Chain A
Amino acid sequence: MSHDVVVTGIGLVTALGADRETTWASILAGRRGFAPLRLFDLPGREAPVVAEVGSFPRKKGVPKRALRASSRTDRMTIAAALEAVADAGLSSLAGAACVLGASSAGMLEGEEYFRHAFEEGHDHARRELLGGIEAASTASRVALALGATGPRATFTTACSSSAHALGHALDLVRSGEVEVALAGGGDGLCRLAAAGFLALENVSRAGCRPFDKDRDGMTLGEAAAVLVLERAGRARRPYARLLGYGSACEAFHATATDPTGRGAEDAIRAALTDAALDSRAVGYVNAHAPGTRDNDGAESAALARVFAHGPAVSSTKALHGHTLGAAGALEAAVTCLALREGWLPGQGKTHAEGAIDVVEAARDKRVEHAVSLSLAFGGNDVALVFGAAP
């Protein structure tokens, strides 16, 4: 027995806004949420331009146990989950699955622990700082905060983590194993990630310019994005239908992308097959395109091959940054909003390389189907296919 699956709730905490409506309004306005890093110092480095979250709501009524020794990533994601569930109008999540992607998790707090542990010894380091360090901490806390008592999973494939989470949740709801799933991911900035990407010389000086011929790297960001997936027919006005999930491994290099974009192509084709959809039906692609020299060219080539009819393409990383573990879910949420609102998000003025139709200013256009793409280090590639809700 197979059920159609729809997205009925979205919660967002991003550099563009501490909730869904503010974030979406900022995206439509083409606002870039970039500024020099303020959350922490990086001695030896100039503060890079990042997409940092401002303050975000600390909701009442969340069980203390969910928040005790929690990380910033945990709390951001709980906030997004609460917004998503309220948006979906659900009063009970009994039996609901909770599937998240995670990357840095609570490493920001962990860095403080380890610094003290290395310098003064573990017994002098505050134990609570490790409370959110594990990848699964967030899923555990979100489930507890919301009373989601169904299956749980945490995927940790860096930039494609929460795309996998959405795909897995699709399978759980589609098969009838669960009626409701919370799916998404959260990722807060930490020194290790910031310093690490700077060491890879992958970071843009002034802010990322996806697909642009003069692009000079990525803009690291942070965010939390949670979507509610349900069987169609249960809810009033869904954002979109989630139709397909495809994943492939490029098996090429630890960090570099195969210049032909082979992995991206395989993932997209797998997702289209899963959705039983022809590529020509896709009207919009929310690309991965972080703005690095290496990735964007390969991705552009793959998109041109798979979507020869030239659908509209944009990488909203130009606005909210590359949010690592949250990226897949955030960009899927943006894709769902685009489908429901009939507006394709733009990525700003772009001198694009390659033959793709890049959306610069937000475009007033209804499309029937859209694809969201996430391509991680090591060639872990995921594509999700969405369809407009009837």
Chain B
Amino acid sequence: MIVTGVGAVAPTALEEVRADGRMLAVKRAATPATIGAREARRLTRPSLLALAACKEALGDAPSEGLGIALGSGFGACEATRLALEGLFERADLVSPSHFVASVRHEAASSIARMLSLRGPAVAASARRLSFEQALGWALRQIGRGRARGMLVAGTDEVTPLLARSLARSRLRREPIAFGEGAGALLLESEGASRPALARIEGFLEGAGSIDDLIAAVRRRLGGRFDLILTDEEGSDRRRADALRMGEELACPTRATDSGYVASGGSLVAVAAVRAPEKRVLCYAREVDGAFAAYSVTKP
């Protein structure tokens, strides 16, 4: 499949936030000014970020025959918090609009509505594989001829509640910044009229160790790359993964600088398309062993 458009809202502003007795580093993105206040009033922050990225990727291309696949690790955290606040006050005080906004695929639906995307549509959520799972699904829709193209995006917001909850649970050992942002690709089938910025050659997914992933990459993607790109390195495990990938595939490795963004794979994809290197391997591997990888090659 070819990439005919990219868009991204990357986090840029690093700050310290006090959340329930802890100082946490967060990396924020500038709020996009893509749409007016009235249109924006129902949209959650992840929707706004993703909408800006998708609009940039879509450009002036027509939307007929396009679908959307959106990955988000944690969805609309602020809307969920507000809905829970109402719930905890009394069950009949849950805000209907915050409840609707907290539904996990709200961003995908809102963007489809605003950009008139009527093709196949899905939302995926799997921590650091959220974007990659959406991408794998989207590639199959185009491959089966169910859509002539797909907007594939990832989006996550950072809130004090999310950062504090992550700090409390499994990520408590990792001293990293919690980021937010959105990235989007416009994917079309070969033979589309718009020029290809890049080609997605091969997409693999599975589960296992980093060595299983490397073996799969060699078997399915050929193993020779100019650059390996992955999400923010942060933890010891991810740093070790990246080192091993670079060593075994004899290739420089770079990580995006977005802080911990669950769907940060979308920012990796955009960076891969924009990078000067000709053949870029993008990969992600979750703590339970699930992994995905794909190659981005330039014309």
B255 at the interface (CB under 8 A from A): no
Q: State A109–B294 Cα separation when bound (angstroms).
A: 36
Instruction: Report the interface size for chain A: residues with CB under 8 A from the other chain.
Output: 69
The segment out of A145-153, A287-295, A342-350 that lies at the interface is A145-153
**Residue from B80, B81, B106, B118 in contact with A378 in the complex, judged by beta carbons closer than 8 Å:** B106
Task: Establish whether residues B109 and A199, one from each chain, have CB atoms under 8 Å apart when the complex forms.
Answer: no
Task: Establish whether residues A254 and B100, one from each chain, have CB atoms under 8 Å apart when the complex forms.
Answer: yes
Task: Establish whether residues B290 and A140, one from each chain, have CB atoms under 8 Å apart when the complex forms.
Answer: yes
Task: Establish whether residues B91 and A191, one from each chain, have CB atoms under 8 Å apart when the complex forms.
Answer: yes
Q: State A143–B109 Cα separation when bound (angstroms).
A: 29
Task: Establish whether residues A144 and B288, one from each chain, have CB atoms under 8 Å apart when the complex forms.
Answer: yes
Task: Establish whether residues A274 and B144, one from each chain, have CB atoms under 8 Å apart when the complex forms.
Answer: yes
Interface string of A213-253 (1 = CB under 8 A from B): 00000000000000000000000000000000011111111
Q: State A192–B141 Cα separation when bound (angstroms).
A: 33
A114 at the interface (CB under 8 A from B): yes
B168 at the interface (CB under 8 A from A): yes
Residue of B91, B167, B168 most packed against chain A (CB within 10 A): B91
A57 at the interface (CB under 8 A from B): no
Task: Establish whether residues A149 and B207, one from each chain, have CB atoms under 8 Å apart when the complex forms.
Answer: yes
The interface residues of chain A lying within 8 Å CB-to-CB of B81 are 114
The interface residues of chain A lying within 8 Å CB-to-CB of B168 are 117, 122-123, 125, 127, 130
Q: A118-B88, A168-B140, A254-B42 in contact; A139/B126 too (CB < 8 A)?
A: yes
Task: Establish whether residues A254 and B106, one from each chain, have CB atoms under 8 Å apart when the complex forms.
Answer: yes
B256 at the interface (CB under 8 A from A): no
Residue of B73, B109, B137, B286 most packed against chain A (CB within 10 A): B109
Task: Establish whether residues B290 and A248, one from each chain, have CB atoms under 8 Å apart when the complex forms.
Answer: no
**Residue from A113, A140, A156, A266 in contact with B104 in the complex, judged by beta carbons closer than 8 Å:** A156
**Residue from B88, B106, B125, B208 in contact with A136 in the complex, judged by beta carbons closer than 8 Å:** B125
Residue of B92, B122, B127, B206 most packed against chain A (CB within 10 A): B122
Task: Establish whether residues A122 and B20, one from each chain, have CB atoms under 8 Å apart when the complex forms.
Answer: yes
Q: Distance in Å from the Cβ of A37 to the closest Cβ of chain B?
A: 11
Task: Establish whether residues B103 and A377, one from each chain, have CB atoms under 8 Å apart when the complex forms.
Answer: yes
B217 at the interface (CB under 8 A from A): no
Q: State A200–B72 Cα separation when bound (angstroms).
A: 25
Taking CB atoms and an 8 Å cut-off, the chain A residues in 312-327 that contact chain B are none
The interface residues of chain A lying within 8 Å CB-to-CB of B87 are 111, 191-192, 195
Task: Establish whether residues B105 and A376, one from each chain, have CB atoms under 8 Å apart when the complex forms.
Answer: yes
**Residue from B73, B102, B113, B164 in contact with A122 in the complex, judged by beta carbons closer than 8 Å:** B164
B117 at the interface (CB under 8 A from A): yes
B31 at the interface (CB under 8 A from A): no
The segment out of A19-27, A38-46, A76-84, A330-338 that lies at the interface is A38-46
Q: A152-B207, A153-B133, A195-B87 in contact; A251/B116 too (CB < 8 A)?
A: yes
Q: State A117–B144 Cα separation when bound (angstroms).
A: 47
The interface residues of chain B lying within 8 Å CB-to-CB of A149 are 206-208
Q: A248-B120, A249-B120, A270-B120 in contact; A102/B125 too (CB < 8 A)?
A: yes
Interface string of B189-212 (1 = CB under 8 A from A): 000000000000000011110000
A372 at the interface (CB under 8 A from B): no
B93 at the interface (CB under 8 A from A): yes
**Residue from B21, B109, B165 in contact with A254 in the complex, judged by beta carbons closer than 8 Å:** B109
Further 13 A-B residue pairs, CB within 8 A, beyond A102-B104, A151-B205: A42-B91, A102-B125, A143-B288, A157-B122, A192-B99, A196-B96, A196-B102, A246-B146, A249-B120, A251-B118, A255-B100, A270-B146, A377-B103
Those 7 A-B pairs whose CB atoms lie nearest each other, nearest first:
A378-B109, A196-B99, A44-B92, A42-B91, A249-B121, A136-B126, A156-B104
Which residues in A have some Cβ–Cβ distance to B below 8 Å?
41-45, 102-103, 111, 113-115, 117-119, 121-123, 125, 127, 130-131, 134-136, 139-140, 143-144, 149-158, 164, 168, 171, 175, 191-192, 194-196, 198-200, 246-255, 263, 266, 270, 274, 376-380
A-B contact pairs, 18 of them (CB 8 A): A43-B90, A103-B104, A119-B88, A143-B207, A149-B207, A152-B133, A153-B136, A154-B126, A154-B133, A171-B144, A195-B87, A195-B92, A196-B83, A247-B146, A253-B113, A270-B120, A274-B146, A378-B103
